[in-house]
Amino acid sequence: MTSKKEIGWNFDNSYARLPNTFFSTVKPNPVDAPKLVILNDSLAGTLGFDADALKTAEGIEILAGNHVPEGSAPLAQAYAGHQFGHFNMLGDGRAMLVGEHITPEDNRVDIQLKGSGRTPFSRGGDGRAALGPMLREYIISEAMHALRIPTTRSLAVVATGESIIRESMLHGAILTRVADSHIRVGTFQYAANWRPVEELRILADYTIQRHYPEIEGDENPYLSLLQEVIKRQAALISKWQLAGFIHGVMNTDNMTISGETIDYGPCAFMDSYDLATVFSSIDREGRYAYGNQPYIGGWNLARFAETLLPLLHDEQEEAVKIAQDAISGYNKIYQTHWLAGMRAKLGIFNEEKDDEVLFTDLLKIMQKNKADYTNTFRSLTLDKIEEAPIFDDAEFAKWHEQWQDRLSRQNVPKESVSKLMRNSNPSVIPRNHRVEEALEAAAEKGDYSVLKKLLEVLSQPYAYSKDQEEYCKLPESSSIPYQTFCGT
């Protein structure tokens, strides 16, 4: 055990005080030769940790799961989930919740080790993770944070010194993940399907107290919980769409109640704009394609609403009506967020009824021309439309004229328009080829310089700096579609 004072641990493990049916207590699964690959010094400071202490042998032993810090209560959470539409009992099969850390600002966060070994929920798996996928999550989650998209964070990646078997032998690694919590839609599905109603109520009350304390006194706090989760998820998914982010596995066990993005498996950012874009090797039917994400968000929320039915009203029929009324508002909330985001991307400060047509017309032109999503908005932001491949399209010329007319009607200085667009359109994103380049150098050659440079560039996506220009370039064309893999 290590002392609290050396690193700065400050645990208060409220989830461990729930009925023990919601988790299994676990012990560390020691690894052979842990070595720190990367530590997020900035995040460590925000959490109140001594980054230098985390980099010592004792700190690395904790990040590797070999030892647990004083005050922690290691456990694996139980949950279920619809995976590609099929309902399964799941749980943390390769993750250990070390405990809940209270930051200097009095914020409560989960500290979880991903890839830390077998648990009672492993279902035959080895409970381990490979270095490449853990570094991918580190890159993408930190990029999402910089893009101001709610997300879990990555504190560290530790190489385990062990090899794991996937399609081939790979270097093992453990990611330290930080989250507001790991309570998921799937957590509620587990309670609703296999636990008594009273335990479901305990989970709902706990979730309200932890994430939505302002609704505790509401007339129907469980309806308010449903409404608040709908709001957060609608806002979150609109941000995904606006950034061209594709999650890849929007299973109900990957939808948090807190409204954070979680589980960066086969995720990626879109290059050419196309609603049908899919990167995940396991999404053969396109269920989680870019254009389907808003719909799937609503579908997942409907599954969440179903779990709350016994709490919404004593009469089943009335409970269903209450849930349906709440879910029916999701599309409007999502659309409101998306429209506001598109207005910002195009420098528009006020609202007009035809704005949506203006936006969808541009996207249709982009899809027809296979235009790069991020770089098209970057060119518009810099007023360098000649750099955009759609510049020679007559439809685009007409659209551009309509957009300029729209801007002229709002009577806002050009400088303000430019500032809004620069603050809403990232100059850089984690381009797939750049991510793969960094992962290959790190996982196969032990060269982390490419990774660190990429992280540096991605940390300020709205800077429009000179050193970012190289990272705006598109990959060379290839006849082989880019694919991502879940890493399990």
d(CA 71, CA 25): 14
DSSP 8-state class, residue 410? T
The Cα 471–Cα 434 span in angstroms is 8
Choosing from 110, 253, 271, 283, the catalytic residue is 253
325 is catalytic: no
Q: Could you say which DSSP state residue 315 is in?
A: S
HEC profile of 63-109: HCCCCCCCCCCCEEECCEEEECCEEEECCCCCEEEEEEEECCCCCEE
What is the C-alpha to C-alpha distance for residues 35 and 33, in angstroms, rounded to an integer?
A: 6
Q: What angle do the packed helices 293-312 and 330-345 form, to 10 degrees?
A: 140
Write down the residue that tokens 């017309």 correspond to.
361
Residue 217's CB is within 10 A of a number of other CB atoms, namely 8
The answer to whether the beta carbons of residues 244 and 378 sit under 8 Å apart is: no
For residue 164, the one-letter residue type is I
Beta bridge partners of residue 154, listed in sequence order: 177
CB-CB contact of 135 with 143 (8 Å): no
In the numeric block, the tokens 């196969």 are attached to 444
Q: Mind telling me the catalytic residues?
A: 253
